[in-house]
């Protein structure tokens, strides 16, 4: 079974997310991100909007530190997140076009930004972030890679459930054309149901990759002054301040 133009995993296979990427997989990453987020947030319990929260596994580590609004364009993935984070507000919406008519202390975009595959998609997402960021608030964006840090490779993993279900995956990341702005991530998913029946699914994800300088330029176009630091996994963590005198785009 092979996916078509749209990835299967965030729709028809969303129920398997807890065995693919459960909250405990995010312990170290949350420990790295939290000081960066809280250092720039206002005093007290700050508000945080996450664009593209997926199954909410990372949010589960942040929700005790922020009042969180979690958004994703996939209702199926939001349902997974709601089961993990029932105390958080959940809103269906595309990160390129979402408008809540509210401002937040922090706007956060994690690896969902990988699905912004054109400059226009990235600009639209950063515009959404700027529109929802209060004066002197911050926008943090953590793409899996920029053009300077992209490397091909493979990963594998998966978990078992108490009811007998099991999930394993192989991820294969490669770039057939280094001169364009996308790369390919092919997944082989092996899923065992509670009765022991197994099926295999191939799911192809097309993801965006852009130079670091382009990111900084796009932030500036949206009225956000951004800097980038590399985390322990060699990922760029873009932290942008919305200055009080800067009008929303």
Write the pLDDT tens digit of every residue in 70-85. Answer: 999 999 999 999 999 9
Say if residue 245's pLDDT is above 60: no
pLDDT score, position 45: 75
Domains and CATH numbers, the chain: 14-146+209-242 (3.40.50.150), 153-208 (2.20.130)
Q: Mean pLDDT over all residues of the chain?
A: 94
Three-class SS of residue 150? coil
pLDDT score, position 7: 86
Lowest mean pLDDT among 39-43, 60-64, 88-92, 104-108: 39-43
Say if residue 129's pLDDT is above 90: yes
pLDDT score, position 4: 45
How far is Cα 240 from Cα 19, in angstroms, rounded to an integer?
A: 33
Using an 8 Å Cβ cutoff, are 86 and 60 in contact? no
pLDDT score, position 244: 62
Give pLDDT tens digits for 35-49: 999 887 665 679 999
**pTM as predicted:** 0.94
How many other CB atoms sit within 10 Å of the CB of residue 235?
A: 19
Say if residue 2's pLDDT is above 90: no
Question: Taking Cα atoms as reference points, which of 67, 15, 19 lies closest to residue 41?
Answer: 67
How far is Cα 80 from Cα 182, in angstroms, rounded to an integer?
A: 28
Q: Kindly state the helix (H) or strand (E) to which residue 108 belongs, with its residue range.
A: strand 104-109
Q: What integer is the mean pLDDT of 6-29?
A: 95
How many other CB atoms sit within 10 Å of the CB of residue 126?
A: 31
* C-alpha 104, offset from chain centre: 18
Q: For residue 14, name the pLDDT band (cuts at 50, 70, 90).
A: very high
Say if residue 3's pLDDT is above 50: no
Kindly state the tokens that stand for 201.
């699914």
Exposure string for 77-112, b = 16+ CB within 10 A, e = fewer: bbbbbbebbeebebeebebbebeeeebbbbbbbbbb
pLDDT score, position 208: 98
Helical axes 119-131 vs 212-221, angle rounded to 10°: 40
pLDDT score, position 1: 44
How far is Cα 88 from Cα 67, in angstroms, rounded to an integer?
A: 7
Higher pLDDT, 240 or 4: 240
pLDDT score, position 6: 72
- Helix, strand, coil % (nearest 5) of the chain? 25, 35, 40
Say if residue 5's pLDDT is above 70: no
Alpha helices in the chain (DSSP H): 17-20, 27-40, 59-62, 75-84, 119-131, 212-221
């Amino acid at each position: 079974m092979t996916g078509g133009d749209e990835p299967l995993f965030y729709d028809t296979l969303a129920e398997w997310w807890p065995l693919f990427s459960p909250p405990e997989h995010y312990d170290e990453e949350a420990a790295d991100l939290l000081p960066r987020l809280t250092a720039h947030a206002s005093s007290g319990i700050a508000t945080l909007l996450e664009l593209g929260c997926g199954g909410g596994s990372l949010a589960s580590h942040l929700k005790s530190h922020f009042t969180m609004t979690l958004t994703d364009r996939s209702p199926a993935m939001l349902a997974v997140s709601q089961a993990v984070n029932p105390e958080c507000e959940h809103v269906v919406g595309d990160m390129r076009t979402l408008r809540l008519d509210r401002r937040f202390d922090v706007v956060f975009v994690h690896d969902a930004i990988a699905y912004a595959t054109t400059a226009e998609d990235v600009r639209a997402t950063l515009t959404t972030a700027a529109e929802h960021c209060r004066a002197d608030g911050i926008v943090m964006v953590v793409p899996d890679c920029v053009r300077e840090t992209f490397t091909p490779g493979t990963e594998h993993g998966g978990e078992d459930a108490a009811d007998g279900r099991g999930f394993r995956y192989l991820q294969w990341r490669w770039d057939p054309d280094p001169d364009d702005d996308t790369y390919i991530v092919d997944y082989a998913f092996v899923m065992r149901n509670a009765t022991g029946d197994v099926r295999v699914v191939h799911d192809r994800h097309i993801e965006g990759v852009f130079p670091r300088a382009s990111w900084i330029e796009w932030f500036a176009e949206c009225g956000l002054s951004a800097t980038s630091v590399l985390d322990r996994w060699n990922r760029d963590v873009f932290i942008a301040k919305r200055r009080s005198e800067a009008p929303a785009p």
